[in-house]
Structure 1
Amino acid sequence: MDHAASQRAQDVLADQLPAPIRRLADIAFDYGWSWRPEGEALWRSVDPELWDACGRNPVRLLRLAAPAALARAAADPALRAAMDRLADALDAARAAPARATPAGTRDAPVAFLCAEYAIHASLPIYSGGLGVLAGDLLKEASDRAVPLVAVGLLYRRGYFHQRLDPSGLQHEYWTVVPPQQLPLERAVDAAGAPVAIEVPLRGHAVHAAVWRAQVGAVPLYLLDSDVPENAPIDRFVTSQLYVGDREYRLMQYALLGVGAVRALAALGIRPGVFHLNEGHPALAALELARDALARGETLERAVGEVRRRIVFTTHTPVAAGNETYAPADVVSVLGPWLRTLGIEPAAALALGRPPGTSDDAPFGMTDLALRTSRAANGVSRRHAEVSRELWARHWPGLPAAEVPIAAVTNGVHLPTWMAEPMRALLARHLGPEWTAHPEDPARWAGVEELPDEELWAVRCRLRADLVAFARARSISDRLARGEPIAYVERADRAFDPAVLTVGFARRVASYKRLHLLVADPARALALLAGPHPMQVVMAGKAHPRDEGAKAIVQRIFELKGEPNVAERVVYLEDHDMEMARKLVAGCDVWVNLPRPPQEASGTSGMKAALNGGLDLSVLDGWWCEAFDGRNGWAIRSEPGPDEAAQDARDAAALYDLLEREVVPLFYDRDAAGVPRAWLRQVKASLQSIGPRFITARTLEDYVAHVYSP
């Protein structure tokens, strides 16, 4: 499509490198390296300290590396051989013929539109689960040669960085990363000219450059309004992910939806299917209707034509999480653009609310997506049930059970989230063909026969790696907070590689109920002590405007002076994708405590399970369909009008499970020091969760049941 432009950037970078290692520039501009086992090792071998210091950004690494380091790399035959193998593999993946599917072709691919993407920590345009799911689907589409292109926004300030003070209060700061320092290239059209688009917002044109990130065989196009043609206010539109100001967010959503359609057209790409991942890009439907409206079709007929090309995934199971806008605010931002379509704003506004609603009712992005798509789905079976009830008003007279919102349960990208020691163990015992179709349960049958000693050795290694990481990060975090030196020194003794390790790391929001871990301080502290203790690692960011969530983290910090807490409890700051990979790999038990039914799916527990961790979760989201009584533990949370009483019941159930089942099972060892019963549960978890909750299965569901006409 525009590979030549990327090649120019690679050539510029390659010219700065010694001749024997110039193929490193090719690898640097393809994020396909990031989910191959040899990728991280290759970059680290160039300059390990600089690799960490530059945020694991290969373009910055190669530009900042000292001539002596590059010369050493060029003289290393093992490095050059690894470079050639990886470069050849990435070239082959990009050149592979697109898979023939009813959903799309190379000439008419699936266009995936989303507000955030978690591809790698060096591309900070994500905040949480929505972005991780999007990034994982792009990687899986590359692995499976599914013809897909993606469009998002380039947030130069990204999502915020987190710093906690000694009380646990969160402070936010942002850093600006110019696109020239990222593995990005300006997208160009067929004539080789850089592509730029404009969208009328607030009565004038807002311009955007189009950048491209290569995600294996999948191009990800990112729109950037920080260009000289724009006024300062308009340059800020794409600067920050989920900016707090509502008018700015509406402008972001307009640029995402309308801009995506215009950018793809400028690139000569004519998608067969548009996948709106959450309601943010829903305005794409009206932009797509432009041609039919220009032919004189009515809005109803134009939307009918467009509907055949749009599918929609909703991710938010509570009404308050689906943004709506007053009609006057929509007209203020979007009115001139709507009139360029040849329709009055009132006609478009009617599509953003349920049928029969009054003209002054709010306009909703999710409502618009539901009304302009031919297929809609939730991200777990339970979430689909909740969504059918939540959005039933769009199908008046239809029982909620018959509302056409299906379920495609989320999964995670196995090569990204399964740590290499576990991958190597399974490859040895399940055979070389195991990773070809990991969604096939038969491929996992051999897990039952894994030698306990080998499985336990892998788990101990992953836990030890996490302990080393947690110690180092705890020391730096506590020093940066200005903690007393004695408290900092205790971080150096934090965690024991032989102790049961429990993890809780995700976006901090009130409904996720992190506070249940310390709801009964006496019981919580007792679990940290004694001959069979546990240790806890926590991480997560609260939204900058969510004061209630910030207070939850402070409750955790209130216990930091209690016995054993400084050594056996850590809260790691600035949770990101790189940290998440270490946490889900090393924890023995992964805890999730959402208030049902507010967890649409959740995916962190899936990642932990792929690494031999066991889930202890409230029955909500994906865990409702995953838990079978043998593969982890479940809390049956009973909703009611008294949330405090519900919290007390669920906290008591959590402590009961930890005290009576989890801790005793982990420390029940035979003469060889192996916890046989624990490992039986680990194997049950791998076999039941492994094939079902990975993007290999998720993408196949989308191709077969959603994308196909």
Structure 2
Amino acid sequence: MSHLQTFRVLPDIPEALSFLEVLSRNIWWCWQYDAVELFRRIDPRLWDGCGRNPILFLTYIPQKRLEELAADKSFLSHQERVRSQFQKLACAGRGDNGSLPARRYAVAYFSMEFGIHESIPLFAGGLGILAGDHLKAASDMDLPLVGVGLLYRQGYFRQFLDQDGWQQEEYPETDIYQLPIEKAKDARGDDLYVSVAGPDGDITAAVWRLNVGCVPLYLLDSNVSVNPREIRDITSKLYIGEEKMRIAQEMLLGIGGMRALAALDIHPAVCHMNEGHSAFSSLERIAQIRENHHVDLKTALEIIPRTTVFTTHTPVSAGNEEFPVELIRPYLVPLEERIGATADEILSWGQAQGAPPDSPISMFVLGAHMARYCNGVSELHGQVARRMWTHVWPEVPEYEIPISHVTNGVHIPSFLSRELALLFERYIGPEWHHHPSNPGNIRRVDDIYEEEVWRAHVMCRARLIRTCRKLMMRQYKRRNAPKEMLRDAELVLDQDIMTIAFARRFATYKRANLLLQDPERFEALLTDKNRPVQFIFAGKAHPRDHEGKELIKRLVQFARKSEIRNRIVFIEDYDIHVARFLVQGADVWLNTPRRPLEACGTSGMKAAINGVLNCSILDGWWCEGYAENRGWKIGSGEEYVDPAYQDAVESQALFNVLEEEVVPCFYDRKNGDIPVRWVKMMKNSMKMGMGIFCSHRMVAEYNGRFYDPAREHLFELLSEGASRARKLAAQRKKVNALWGDIRIQPPIQETEGPFRVGEKLHMTTLVDLGDLAPEDVTVELFYGLVQSADRVMSGKAKKMEMLEAHGGGRYLYACDITCRVSGRYGFTARVLPAGDAWARFQPGLLLWA
């Protein structure tokens, strides 16, 4: 209907229960066990039926029940306990945009998706869950951080399987009035809107705010009446497949997101781009820095990278986004004057040096070009990323490419079982979750009795089995399955059998079919009478990934065999809610990616904190997490050229480790006692998760290594009319103009060899700097053990000091090196620009002797 007007009726909440409405409007409740239980105790079935969405839940509670609760002293006491915890938050009193002074110079965290809770469908998978955990941990730590994302009306798809096991997708419309969001307001108190000029007209977006504890998350929504239908659809679905719409989404996220923050009087000191989707934010930020601080483009380009963090998650070149220049250009032309550069120059920032002008725009290259702090998400992924992007820094040795790593972590209170949380409160202390990685807290895990740990886990496994039966019944009913199949669904799985879970995105490289490489051996594992095993599979394939869908279909059809159908199930529509049951209740978390294609993978971390033992390929985070006393490895971290051969070898390795190590350990019980060795491994797994792989550690690392230094850079560079930044810009201009005149001769070994360990060598080299001065450059001796005729393994750089000026721009440089390890060494010399890490490794500014 056209010209439809609306009104809304809210529940009549008694005054004594008014805090419930306050609580429902801040998603903080979702990681507070007591707060979740406060809602749940009102009506457990209704709570579950409403998708654990408190706003929807409160609208369905009968008025009579509300009146009962208002007079229930036990409930009111529980509510007061939660209210007290909420009010202890440093941010609890911040009600509107104007009360965020501490966040004016905050970290702005941009992400295409945010997985905070299953009732807020703004995520697709691990990237979004990580972003949600980042905000939660920042809130717990009261970090000055704001999130920026998009508000999707349909979000990611719901998954259903047809009779043959083929994945079907549905995109249900989200009722935004059932989400804990509110319209952001501008300085006049009006609803805030921002616009981005696009090829088909302005893209106007409303700005909404979602409170994640202390952290405001601002979400842009193009579904507003002033937009034509095609523009309204920009924020309809997460990761729209059509390229033109995808670019519009990312322009709105980056450029529109920065404009929204400016309209809210939030001027971030640091921008953190979570993947390349938000790389366009740097373009708008350049314009804002120029306007607010009256600097030219060259000066702005000294400020922006030194105050920007860029996290890459994709370990495959093909997975990194690239867009045609003709689709990007229309968005850049309107920015030319504000940025101070032509569209062609701006486009070149997203292309590797020397690439033709019509080369696609790489979102990685644009992100890296604009960020001094660039990182992968695990130690192995950092190595893979450096190897992947050598062409962006062609003269730099692989191990010196400026991509580091910060290993991901998970928000422990969001995923820890209630049973273990109670044990932690009793043995570690009621405030343990505020500092989960505190070494003292971790040591106290050893004080928990093994029997109590096992009993808690048995309860979690039983709950998982009941949930799987319920979900399988729902799946079969939806397909109108016959009664016999419904009866079978009621009896799937066994509460006392070792349970292995495989739950993740069904991309082919994750190899959900590795067990099906040997179906007879797999079946024997499932049907062993003495030591039986059961499997739970879950996960979605991308709608356009037909190979991934084929994997699901093959698994489902294998699971229908009469001999095993009660020992293997596939759970549809994997989401945070289902994941919570799996990571809390499984015995083993199985992970079989084709190394090194998994950047990190965080589901195994969520399992680990619950004492679920990981059995995984040594890829992603497990390279750092694996130890014999807390899980198992499949293979020894080999990498293969032939994928088929790799699958065949590692399939056998998987069966071997399950049959010879995992299953015997689980069933190793003397006189019917608990599996003592298994439980000790569970406790080690929990300690590992708390200490190394929690989001508090991750966010603290980002803060200490990146955010704090970047914030200091901003204040330093902008002080005294941005004089420091202007000097850096002038220096870069000078070095760029004169770099081609530099010549460096091969270094000379002044001392005859061979040498003994402990002896010193004196090295010299002659450098012609032309019109540059010694303070404009850094001259280094580069040396290391020789791997081949022209390759040095893990070379070291030693700064050479200017010894003599020979006139005419020529200088003699020298240094001493100490022989510390025997072997055959190679050495050379090089010249780099003087300055910080950002200045040193600018593409094209590295000269070798």
Q: TM-score range by the shorter chain?
A: over 0.9
- The answer on 1:123 being equivalent to 2:120 is yes
Q: CA deviation at 1:334?
A: 4.5
Describe the shift of the 1:296–1:354 C-alpha distance in structure 2 as closer, same or farther (beyond 3 A).
farther
Q: Which moved more, 1:188-197 or 1:133-142?
A: 188-197
Q: CA deviation at 1:74?
A: 2.3
- The answer on 1:235 being equivalent to 2:239 is no
Residue of structure 2 equivalent to 1:606: 605
Residue of structure 2 equivalent to 1:439: 437
CA distance in structure 2 between the partners assigned to 1:170 and 1:684 by the alignment: 38
Q: Which residues of 2 match residues 558-577 of structure 1 at below 5 A?
A: 558-577=557-576
Provide the secondary structure at the position in 1 that maps to 2:235. coil
Structure ranking higher in strand proportion: 2
Q: Quick one: which of 77, 89, 93 aligns to 1:93?
A: 89
Q: Which residues of 2 match residues 28-67 of structure 1 at below 5 A?
A: 28-67=24-63
- The answer on 1:16 being equivalent to 2:15 is no
Provide the secondary structure at the position in 2 that maps to 1:185. strand
The amino acid that maps onto 2:656 is D
Provide the secondary structure at the position in 2 that maps to 1:236. helix
Q: CA deviation at 1:17?
A: 1.2
Q: Quick one: which of 142, 146, 154 aligns to 2:143?
A: 146
Provide the secondary structure at the position in 1 that maps to 2:84. helix
The amino acid that maps onto 2:350 is G
- The answer on 1:283 being equivalent to 2:277 is no
Describe the shift of the 1:39–1:338 C-alpha distance in structure 2 as closer, same or farther (beyond 3 A).
farther
Q: Can you list the C-alpha shifts for 1:251-302, whole angstroms capped at 9, x where unaligned?
A: 0000000011100011111111111111101001011111455588554433
Q: Which residues of 2 match residues 278-677 of structure 1 at below 5 A?
A: 278-291=275-288, 293=290, 299-338=297-336, 341-432=339-430, 434-529=432-527, 530-636=529-635, 637-677=637-677
Residue of structure 2 equivalent to 1:224: 221
Matched-pair contact (CA < 8 Å) for 2:204–2:222: yes
CA distance in structure 1 between the partners assigned to 2:687 and 2:52 by the alignment: 33
Residue of structure 2 equivalent to 1:5: none
CA distance in structure 2 between the partners assigned to 1:96 and 1:623 by the alignment: 37
Matched-pair contact (CA < 8 Å) for 1:491–1:566: no
Residue of structure 1 equivalent to 2:818: none
Provide the secondary structure at the position in 2 that maps to 1:494. coil
Provide the secondary structure at the position in 2 that maps to 1:214. strand
Q: CA deviation at 1:64?
A: 2.7
CA distance in structure 2 between the partners assigned to 1:342 and 1:244 by the alignment: 33
Query: Highest relative contact order (Cα 8 Å, sep 6+), 1 or 2?
Result: 1
Q: Which moved more, 1:39-48 or 1:404-413?
A: 39-48
CA distance in structure 2 between the partners assigned to 1:290 and 1:590 by the alignment: 48
Q: Quick one: which of 256, 260, 264 aligns to 1:259?
A: 256
Matched-pair contact (CA < 8 Å) for 1:408–1:698: yes
Q: Can you list the C-alpha shifts for 1:616-653, whole angstroms capped at 9, x where unaligned?
A: 00000000011122210011353323211111111111
The amino acid that maps onto 2:57 is L
CA distance in structure 2 between the partners assigned to 1:231 and 1:432 by the alignment: 53
CA distance in structure 1 between the partners assigned to 2:88 and 2:214 by the alignment: 9
Describe the shift of the 1:108–1:480 C-alpha distance in structure 2 as closer, same or farther (beyond 3 A).
same
Provide the secondary structure at the position in 1 that maps to 2:394. coil
The alignment of Structure 1 onto Structure 2 pairs a total of residues equal to: 693
Q: Can you list the C-alpha shifts for 1:378-422, whole angstroms capped at 9, x where unaligned?
A: 100000011111122222311010011111000000110111111
Describe the shift of the 1:63–1:432 C-alpha distance in structure 2 as closer, same or farther (beyond 3 A).
closer
TM superposition outliers: structure 1 runs of 4+ over 6 Å: 12-15
Q: CA deviation at 1:337?
A: 4.3
Q: Can you list the C-alpha shifts for 1:278-335, whole angstroms capped at 9, x where unaligned?
A: 1101001011111455588554433222222211111111111111011112124544
Provide the secondary structure at the position in 1 that maps to 2:117. coil
Gaps of 5+ in 1: 1-11, 99-103
Residue of structure 1 equivalent to 2:791: none
Q: CA deviation at 1:194?
A: 1.2
CA distance in structure 2 between the partners assigned to 1:504 and 1:292 by the alignment: 47
Q: Can you list the C-alpha shifts for 1:324-363, whole angstroms capped at 9, x where unaligned?
A: 0111121245444456644321111100011222212110
CA distance in structure 1 between the partners assigned to 2:137 and 2:501 by the alignment: 27
The amino acid that maps onto 2:703 is V
Provide the secondary structure at the position in 2 that maps to 1:22. helix
When the two structures are superposed, what TM-score results if normalisation uses the length of structure 1?
0.94
Q: What RMSD over aligned residues (CA atoms) do the two structures have, in Å? A: 1.9
Matched-pair contact (CA < 8 Å) for 1:27–1:86: no
Q: CA deviation at 1:432?
A: 4.1
Residue of structure 1 equivalent to 2:698: 698
Residue of structure 1 equivalent to 2:182: 185
Q: CA deviation at 1:97?
A: 10
Gaps of 5+ in 2: 1-7, 95-100, 710-849
Describe the shift of the 1:29–1:292 C-alpha distance in structure 2 as closer, same or farther (beyond 3 A).
closer
CA distance in structure 2 between the partners assigned to 1:414 and 1:246 by the alignment: 37
When the two structures are superposed, what TM-score results if normalisation uses the length of structure 2?
0.79
The amino acid that maps onto 1:598 is L
Matched-pair contact (CA < 8 Å) for 1:441–1:687: no
Q: CA deviation at 1:487?
A: 2.3
Provide the secondary structure at the position in 1 that maps to 2:366. helix
Describe the shift of the 1:298–1:106 C-alpha distance in structure 2 as closer, same or farther (beyond 3 A).
closer
Q: CA deviation at 1:566?
A: 1.9
Provide the secondary structure at the position in 2 that maps to 1:271. coil
Q: Can you list the C-alpha shifts for 1:194-239, whole angstroms capped at 9, x where unaligned?
A: 1110011115211000111111111111000000010100000011
Q: Which moved more, 1:432-441 or 1:244-253?
A: 432-441
CA distance in structure 2 between the partners assigned to 1:496 and 1:379 by the alignment: 37
CA distance in structure 2 between the partners assigned to 1:665 and 1:490 by the alignment: 30
CA distance in structure 2 between the partners assigned to 1:686 and 1:40 by the alignment: 23
Q: Can you list the C-alpha shifts for 1:83-130, whole angstroms capped at 9, x where unaligned?
A: 2222332233153799xxxxx953311111100001111100001010
CA distance in structure 2 between the partners assigned to 1:525 and 1:584 by the alignment: 24
Residue of structure 2 equivalent to 1:163: 160
The amino acid that maps onto 2:474 is S
CA distance in structure 1 between the partners assigned to 2:436 and 2:9 by the alignment: 37
Provide the secondary structure at the position in 2 that maps to 1:514. coil
Q: Can you list the C-alpha shifts for 1:167-204, whole angstroms capped at 9, x where unaligned?
A: 11000001111322211100112332111100111152
